[in-house]
Structure 1
């Protein structure tokens, strides 16, 4: 759970043994973020100032708490439901964003040189921003949303393969997630003698990141029976943007540049269900997020997600969850 503490200026604070290896800061009331411990800000070749931590606007729209030591820094960010938040980052360190929980009614995430992502269900997704790359995101929260930002100096997250890390937006990888969670916990524990452990975890994380990049690069060649990565991104992105609308199979097939017959077969191979079932499942997942907000009526939620009658929404919700919308909402008391 996110806990708030009196706001202080970021900087070194004495550790229990009298050293200065750890900093703990509450960023909520700061208008400008200063460099966390051990991470220096710098200027790019075109004289732009590159901020060492994610800029968030409005400043009071979230609660954020950070702690770290030289080379490693972690921030926990909480955005309540119904907030519009803008995030921006470009710095001398690698950034790994972990979307622990929540979702967005609307929003977009982009990294320089890559197609933006507009998916709404961001829970358990990861975004990796290599040092020096520009990252921007805006979102309207559909539920209480919690993120973790891991800032890793390139000297501690080394790629022994020699190639630069590639940016990735909203990807899923259990290995990366598990290792990053361990690294987060180790940074937050803050014992002065845990540098070797942090270094070991960082090495594992570097391997996991390289592995998932290699898997993604091979995806098109290996997934001959399913959709290629670019096809999945295009189709899923379109479905996410049109959850409350009827979606024509021909439109999805055109996005994937396939015949309808070939597209249906490839889609089921990739996602395990036909396109229509996937669309319904995503509607129901969005409905779960909206049901957490008691200011929205169940009827309005159904209309928002494309159901013309409350009864049809209730039938679809119960078929997929085993609960009626009213029963599910009561669980939030």
Structure 2
């Protein structure tokens, strides 16, 4: 579960768990999360909500911080920017009425599948494996996944690879070839083609545009 508390808001909580639980706190400069079109209100507080994209990015940020690597500052900065964007997107969505989703994956199924995909971005994860994680047949899983995410599972994996590639392209110390190999592409040309299809940019042009 996720909780977001904007700067200046009072917040108290306590936990009584029946088993071991882990809690991570991430603090951000309020300026980094400012929405120009939100006026004085800014982002809205949200308590115990689920959002796969926010969860993915926050998990990667946590792992990057805990790694203790001294040369990953550009990666951390890029992750913070993506997380700020995802929180803004989630805030916009919560202001709109959300239709009831029937036939999609349950919250725990979305989490376990998303986490597995994130941990295996350099591999082509088969649908059978994802269906097993969700404890569903392949047919039921494919239908439920598309209902939950709006796109097929394979396309979701490709998009997540490209989002990861965008973050890595922000670190100019990492070559495009190394990024391609880390994502499971045997040739840089194959990666470049997939990246351009997903974003409209070549990796080189995208990196050149980054400030």
**TM-score band (shorter)?**
0.5 to 0.7
Residues 143, 293 of structure 1: 8 Å contact kept: no
Residues 143, 290 of structure 1: 8 Å contact kept: no
Residues 118, 241 of structure 1: 8 Å contact kept: no
Q: How does 1:7-156 map to 2 (within 5 A)?
A: 75=30, 119-122=55-58, 137=62, 139-140=64-65, 142-144=75-77, 145=80
Unaligned runs of 5+ in 1: 1-35, 45-53, 57-63, 66-74, 79-95, 98-110, 112-116, 123-136, 149-170, 179-207
Q: CA deviation at 1:253?
A: 0.2
Distance 2:136 2:105 in 1: 10
Answer 1 or 2: which has greater helix percent: 2
Q: CA deviation at 1:118?
A: 9.8
* CA offset digits 1:224-274 (Å, max 9, x no partner): 322122211111111111111121211100111110111111111221211
Counting matched residue pairs gives 163
Question: Counterpart of 1:267 in 2: which secondary structure?
Answer: helix
Distance 1:238 1:55 in 2: 22
Aligned to 1:243: 121
Aligned to 1:12: none
Distance 2:198 2:8 in 1: 48
Aligned to 1:226: 104
Distance 2:54 2:26 in 1: 20
Runs of 4+ in 1 over 6 A off after TM superposition: 36-39
Q: TM-score, normalised by structure 2?
A: 0.61
Instruction: Report whether the alignment pairs 1:289 with 2:167.
Output: yes
Residues 56, 114 of structure 2: 8 Å contact kept: no
Q: CA deviation at 1:174?
A: 2.2
Q: How does 1:252-331 map to 2 (within 5 A)?
A: 252-331=130-209
Aligned to 1:172: 90
* Distance change >3 Å, CA 118–CA 226, structure 1 → 2: closer
Question: Counterpart of 2:64 in 1: which secondary structure?
Answer: strand
Larger radius of gyration: 1
Q: TM-score, normalised by structure 1?
A: 0.41
Question: Counterpart of 1:262 in 2: which secondary structure?
Answer: helix
Higher RCO, 1 vs 2 (CA within 8 Å, ≥6 residues apart) = 2
Question: Counterpart of 1:139 in 2: which secondary structure?
Answer: helix
Distance 1:120 1:321 in 2: 20
Distance 2:8 2:160 in 1: 41
Residues 225, 269 of structure 1: 8 Å contact kept: yes
Q: Which is worse superposed, 278-287 or 231-240?
A: 231-240
RMSD: 3.9
Unaligned runs of 5+ in 2: 1-6, 16-24, 34-44, 66-72
